[in-house]
């Protein structure tokens, strides 16, 4: 696994993008569970 170092702004951008993807999947009645999992990982990193 590769790791990259991100600043708060970059993390917020990723979280926002994942949330937009999640909302789009929900509106299309598609599975969004994996997006939720990844989204929560990034939110937890941001809150530390």
Helix (H, G, I), strand (E, B) or coil at 29: coil
Q: pTM higher than 0.95 for the full model? A: no
Q: Tens digit of pLDDT for each residue in 13-24?
A: 999 999 999 999
- Percentage of the residues of the chain whose pLDDT score is greater than 70: 100
Sign of CA dihedral 39, 18, 3, 7: negative
Q: Kindly list the domain boundaries of the chain, sorted by start residue.
A: 8-47
- How far, in Å, CA of 47 to CA of 7, rounded? 12
């Amino acid at each position: 696994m590769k790791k990259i170092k991100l600043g708060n702004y970059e993390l917020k951008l990723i979280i926002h993008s994942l949330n937009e993807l999640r909302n789009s999947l929900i509106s299309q009645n598609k599975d969004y569970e994996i997006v939720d999992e990844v989204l929560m990982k990034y939110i937890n990193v941001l809150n530390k």
